[in-house]
């Protein structure tokens, strides 16, 4: 290449290309251009990425002058490109040629805090299983023994902080793909773990003598599916240590479910998805089994439930993994509770016992690929299970993120009312307001390790516990 | 707007080509080019299109005055006014923050001053126009919009190459044979696009992963955290990051030049080459003859030679080189690390001129070839570390870490996995940085002597290959948010 002259003539021996030789390029360019401008072909939602795609921007003079308007048009144009899933698949195919490794890392690996060694257990005995009749008076008994409390003023929505819409925002670290499964990179934040543990402890203190408080800290599949030595070698925080640390920091009034030891013996079963950060309904059942042990009740086996399967399920990690084709495609097994159980869905604004919202099928048939939405129809502010076969007025409150969605079904066999709040979307009542108003017997906090250790997650839980 | 965007590929480019094709006369084609160029520029910087138009207006006027003046003093005066105006404006927009920071925190209006995109490219182009008119190497352009078209032409306005007025004026305004090099242009454009999307972008993502993203590294509030992160990064990880960045910056920058040259060829405009496989060089001097050639030749012709070049003794030559290298560094960004980077290259260029070349000459041929090449690659890679980090502490940490001097491990899980996961990509990019593919194509072209062979060659190289590259590049752009534009700070 002669850098100082413009080469207009072909080198000796080379034939000058005819202008027609490039016709294929212009045909392809024209075809894709036409395709790109058929607006009805443009998708508005990406199921794989679980997000709404860019919308065409609204016009304003200020956005025009700043250049934002045109930039947004460019974003809309590329984000909603017709056939985007096919293009992305092609792109992922090309990216899979970048290297050869059975392990892949996606995203940036952030170093977390060092996990403190758990404090020595105190001499006072920890919480032991209590029977309902022995430990807590029945609501009816309590009502007879104590004067009726003065009606509390109607609460007003109190949360003015950040509304957490997207769980991926607070996933710790990157994603690692090992063989046919993807795993979240686990980290540890002492600051936020402390806020979380203190909030749960405070809840137990505040409700002492009124409700039992359970903590279900849902671990990542990384912790239960990959050997500890391997996790240590790749710089993952070992969540069993985090669980131990939390246990040491939690009040002894908190019933802490040992999700690590409850699930570990079953890690050869389908307890976590291959391409999603959630546990399966089966994984959730093993944690429920441990809850039963602590709560002093008999677990209801899955054989009593009606199993249904929805597939294919492309989860959050599936999209993050560029070599997603190597991942085993997931199925969602859902279990419909036995008995006369109904599910009601409420938008969480000015909820009352009389207004439970509209009734929804217990397990929703999902048309798209995010089959995990079949549980509770996704992350709604407030759901209520009513089991008409139980008539004692018993009630539990489950405050959860999406990890709790398959988990809460199992409680329908033990309470007449199971109130399920998504802490990211329910803002109407504080914890004590809710417990008093709905006459709740037990409170269960069920959070994924990632959210419990995030600034927004722990902060929001902390604020709810009032 | 950038070339490697879907909106450019499937809205702007087809529209501009159709409009251009529909125009019959050269004047109409140029008007169409001007309108699309202004839209292209205004797409990202609506207000700064006025700056571009204003600078073209000043230089059009000054060049006319120079052309009309018989007296040397008057010509010099108009030239000086043009240079002061151009450099004053670029100085204000690009360097006022850097200068103010010498005396304390810059005022708010300086901090909020956005750098007009492409200002370093089009200012230098306009300077070549005025100086060439002053030197009598080009006639002043009577029509203002011709000067504006020359400066604003969207092919090269925002990312180069820096096209000298006299090298393009005839094709731009007098005679243009559109269509003659259409297929060559298409091939060149799609090669550049593919290079950018499929090679440079993944290399950039890997570099960001191992060396921190530019935004994170540039955040002064995170300095302690960034230092901790980089000092803990393994040596292998840092080498991977530096190598990936070196490949990214070459492939990305040369890809933009390829696309500009390709689009020019489609319309019958022939821009000079801007890169000539710089990583195969064996000295710093050779590297800079092959890297960003249009910038190097600008400084040679408009700074180095007017200062006396190498004709006024060793000391003066070194001083001239020092000035040129400092300006070269400064041109790349308003930050002291770029000045340092320029001076870093000066040290090696000067050492080569003074003694290194002689020392190397004493070595046996094979050994000289190997050692010279290893020397150049080492110098270039270390140079990119200085270039990447605006904070010198971060650059120092990375350079120490490359040799395990931060107490960092030589390799860890992440670096081994990333190395394995990207080994074919990096190997392919290294090969793509050499003339191997071009030589293969030439070899095939020469071997294809029969009519059938020639037809097959043309069908594959000029037909199937560009179409396929367009499609795979489109796939790489759909849904991929990582598509950096490195030249905003230039």
Does the residue B27 lie in any domain? yes
Give the span between the Cα atoms of A300 and A409, in whole angstroms: 11
Cβ-nearest to B479 among A23, A87, A104: A87
pLDDT at A404 over 90: yes
Domain boundaries, chain A: 132-145+161-464
User: CA of B68, closest CA in chain A: separation in Å?
Assistant: 31
Q: Residue B481: inside a domain, yes or no?
A: no
Q: What is the DSSP string of A380-436?
A: -SEEEEEETT--S--EEEEEE-GGGTTTGGGGGGT-SEEEEEETTT--SS-HHHHHH
Question: Per the domain annotation, does B166 fall within a domain?
Answer: yes
Q: Is the Cβ–Cβ distance between A153 and A318 less than 8 Å? A: no
Q: Does A61 touch chain B (CB under 8 A)?
A: no
pLDDT digits (tens, 9 = 90+) for A409-464: 999 999 999 999 998 889 889 999 999 999 999 999 999 888 888 887 888 888 89
CB contact under 8 A, B475 and A4: no
Q: Name chain B contacts of A43, Cβ cutoff 8 Å.
A: none
Q: Among this protein's residues, is B332 annotated catalytic?
A: yes
B427 in a structural domain: no
Arithmetic mean of pLDDT over chain B: 91
Two tokens at B432?
Answer: 């793509």
User: Does any domain span residue B106?
Assistant: yes
Tell me which chain A residues have a C-beta less than 8 angstroms from the C-beta of B175: none
pLDDT at position A118 is: 58
Flag if B480 and A22 touch (Cβ within 8 Å).
Answer: no
**Chain B CB within 8 Å of residue A62 CB:** no
d(CA A382, CA A349): 9
B334 domain residue, yes or no: no
| The pLDDT value given to residue B191 | 96
pLDDT in tens, B113-124: 888 989 999 999
For residue A84, which residues of chain B lie inside 8 Å, CB to CB? Answer: 478-479
CB contacts, 8 Å: A65 with chain B: 46-47
A106 in contact with chain B, both atoms CB, cutoff 8 A: no
Residue of B nearest to A63 (CA): B46
* Average pLDDT value for chain A: 81
Would you call A22 and B182 a contact, using CB atoms and an 8 Å cutoff?
Answer: yes
User: What would the DSSP string read from start to end of B32-54?
Assistant: HHHHHHHHHHHHH-TTTHHHHHH
Indicate if the alpha-carbon torsion angle B209, B214, B220, B221 is positive or negative.
Answer: negative
ipTM: 0.88
B373 part of a folded domain: no
Q: What is the DSSP string of B386-449?
A: HHH-SSHHHHHHHHHHHTTTTS--S--HHHHHHHHHTHHHHHHHHHHTTTHHHHHHHHHHHH--
pLDDT over 60 at A369, yes or no: yes
Residue B71: give the domain boundaries. Answer: 6-176
* A318-338: average pLDDT: 84
Catalytic residue among B146, B155, B292, B332: B332
- Torsion over CA: B115, B121, B127, B130 (sign): negative
Q: What part of A 72-101 touches B (C-beta under 8 Å)?
A: 73-74, 77-79, 81, 84, 87-88, 90-91, 94-95, 97-101
| Residue B466 to residue A77, Cβ atoms within 8 A | no
Rounded CA gap, B324 and B318, in Å? 10
pLDDT score, position A131: 35
Alpha carbon of B463: minimum distance to chain A alpha carbons (Å): 5
pLDDT tens digits along A261-293 = 999 999 899 999 999 989 999 999 999 999 999
pLDDT digits (tens, 9 = 90+) for B158-185: 887 999 998 898 999 888 776 778 889 9
What is the number of domains present in chain B? 1
Q: Give the number of C-alpha atoms closer than 13 A to the C-alpha of residue A327, restricted to the C-beta side.
A: 27
Cα distance from N-terminal residue to C-terminal residue, chain A: 74
Chain A interface disruption, residue of B10, B226, B428, most A CBs within 10 A: B10
Answer whether residue A111 shows pLDDT above 70: no
B358-389, pLDDT tens digit by residue?
Answer: 998 888 889 999 999 999 999 999 999 999 99
Which residues of chain A lie closer than 8 angstroms to B482, CB-CB?
none
Residue A26 has pLDDT above 90, yes or no: yes
Contact residues, chain A, for B209 at CB < 8 Å: 108
**Per residue in B431-459, is it b (16+ CB within 10 Å) or e — as a string?**
ebbeeeeeeebeeebeebeeeeeeeebbe
The answer to whether residue B222 is domain-embedded is: no
* Contact (CB<8Å) A28/B467: yes
- DSSP letter (8 states) at residue A309: E
Residue A155 confidence (pLDDT) above 50? no
């Amino acid at each position: 290449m002669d850098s100082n002259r413009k080469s207009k003539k072909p080198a000796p021996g080379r034939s000058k290309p005819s202008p027609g030789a490039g016709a294929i390029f212009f045909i392809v360019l024209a075809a894709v251009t036409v395709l790109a401008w058929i607006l009805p072909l443009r998708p508005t939602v990406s199921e794989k990425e679980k997000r709404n795609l860019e919308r065409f921007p609204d016009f304003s003079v200020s956005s025009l002058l700043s250049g934002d308007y045109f930039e947004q048009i460019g974003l809309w144009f590329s984000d909603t490109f017709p056939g985007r899933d096919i293009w992305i698949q092609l792109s992922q195919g090309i990216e899979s040629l970048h290297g050869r490794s059975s392990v892949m890392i996606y995203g940036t690996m952030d170093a977390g805090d060092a996990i403190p060694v758990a404090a020595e257990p105190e001499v006072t005995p920890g919480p032991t299983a209590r029977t309902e009749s022995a430990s807590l008076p029945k609501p009816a008994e309590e009502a007879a023994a104590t004067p009726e409390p003065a009606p509390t003023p109607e609460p007003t929505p109190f949360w003015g902080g950040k509304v957490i819409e997207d769980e991926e925002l607070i996933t710790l670290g990157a994603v690692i793909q090992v063989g046919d499964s993807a795993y979240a990179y686990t980290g540890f934040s002492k600051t936020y773990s402390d806020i979380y543990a203190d909030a749960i402890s405070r809840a137990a203190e505040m409700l002492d003598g009124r409700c039992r408080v359970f903590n279900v800290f849902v671990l990542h599949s990384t912790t239960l599916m990959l050997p500890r030595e391997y996790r240590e070698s790749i710089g993952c925080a070992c969540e069993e240590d985090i669980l131990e640390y939390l246990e040491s920091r939690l009040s002894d009034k908190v019933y802490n479910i040992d999700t690590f030891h409850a699930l570990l013996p079953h890690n050869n079963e389908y307890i976590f998805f291959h391409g999603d950060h959630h546990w399966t309904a089966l994984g959730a059942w093993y944690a429920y089994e441990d809850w039963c042990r602590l709560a002093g009740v008999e677990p209801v086996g899955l054989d009593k439930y009606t199993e249904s399967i929805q597939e294919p399920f492309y989860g959050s990690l599936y999209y993050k993994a560029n070599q997603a084709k190597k991942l085993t495609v997931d199925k969602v097994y859902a279990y419909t509770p036995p008995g006369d159980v109904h599910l009601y869905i409420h938008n969480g604004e000015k909820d009352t016992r009389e207004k439970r919202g509209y009734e929804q099928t217990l397990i929703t048939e999902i048309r798209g690929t995010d089959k995990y939405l079949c549980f509770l129809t996704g992350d709604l502010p407030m759901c209520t299970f009513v089991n008409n076969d139980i008539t004692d007025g018993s009630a539990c409150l489950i405050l959860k993120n999406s990890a709790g969605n398959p988990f809460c079904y199992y409680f329908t066999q033990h309470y007449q009312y199971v109130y399920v709040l998504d802490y990211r979307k329910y803002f109407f009542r504080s914890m004590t307001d809710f417990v008093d108003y709905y006459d709740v017997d037990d409170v269960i906090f069920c959070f994924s390790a990632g959210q419990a250790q995030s600034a927004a997650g722990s902060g929001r839980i902390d604020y709810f516990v009032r | 707007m950038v070339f490697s965007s879907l909106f450019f590929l499937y809205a702007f480019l087809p529209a501009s080509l159709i409009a251009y094709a529909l125009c019959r006369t050269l004047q109409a084609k140029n008007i169409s080019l001007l309108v699309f160029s202004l839209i292209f520029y205004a797409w990202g910087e609506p207000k700064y299109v006025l700056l571009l138009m204003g600078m073209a207006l000043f230089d059009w006027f000054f060049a006319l005055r120079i052309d009309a003046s018989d007296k040397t003093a008057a010509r010099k005066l108009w030239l000086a006014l043009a240079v002061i105006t151009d450099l004053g404006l670029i100085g204000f927009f690009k360097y006022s923050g850097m200068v103010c920071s010498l005396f304390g925190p810059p005022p708010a209006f300086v901090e909020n001053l956005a750098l007009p995109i492409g200002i370093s490219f089009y200012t230098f182009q306009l300077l070549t126009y005025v100086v060439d008119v002053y030197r009598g190497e080009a006639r002043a352009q009577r029509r203002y919009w011709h000067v504006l078209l020359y400066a604003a032409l969207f092919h090269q306005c925002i990312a180069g190459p820096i096209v000298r007025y006299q090298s393009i004026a005839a094709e731009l305004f007098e005679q243009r044979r559109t269509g003659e090099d259409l297929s060559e242009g298409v091939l060149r454009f799609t090669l550049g696009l593919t290079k950018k999307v499929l090679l440079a972008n993944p290399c950039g993502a890997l570099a960001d992963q191992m060396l921190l993203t530019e935004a994170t590294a540039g955040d002064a509030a995170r300095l302690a955290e960034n230092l901790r992160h980089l000092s803990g990064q393994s040596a292998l990880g840092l080498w991977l990051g530096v190598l990936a960045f070196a490949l990214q910056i070459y492939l990305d920058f040369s890809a933009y030049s390829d696309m500009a040259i390709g689009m020019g060829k489609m319309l019958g405009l022939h821009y000079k080459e801007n890169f000539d496989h710089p990583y195969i060089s064996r000295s710093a001097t050779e590297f800079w003859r092959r890297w960003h050639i249009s910038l190097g030749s600008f400084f040679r012709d408009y700074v180095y030679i007017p200062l006396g070049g190498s004709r006024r003794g060793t000391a003066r030559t070194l001083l001239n080189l020092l000035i040129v290298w400092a300006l070269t560094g400064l041109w790349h960004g308003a930050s002291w690390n770029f000045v340092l980077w320029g001076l870093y290259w000066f040290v090696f260029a000067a050492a080569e001129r003074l003694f290194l070349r002689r020392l190397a000459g004493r070595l046996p041929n094979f050994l000289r070839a190997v050692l010279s090449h290893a020397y150049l690659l080492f110098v270039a890679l270390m140079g990119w570390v200085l270039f990447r980090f605006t904070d010198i502490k971060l650059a120092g940490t990375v350079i120490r870490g490359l040799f395990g001097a931060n107490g960092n491990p030589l390799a860890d899980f992440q670096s081994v996995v990333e190395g394995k996961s990207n080994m074919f990509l990096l190997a392919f990019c290294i090969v793509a940085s050499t003339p191997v593919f071009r030589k293969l194509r030439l070899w095939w072209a020469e071997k294809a002597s029969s009519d059938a062979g020639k037809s097959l060659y043309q069908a594959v190289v000029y037909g199937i290959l560009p179409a396929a590259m367009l499609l795979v590049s489109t796939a790489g752009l759909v849904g991929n948010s990582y598509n950096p534009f490195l030249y905003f700070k230039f």
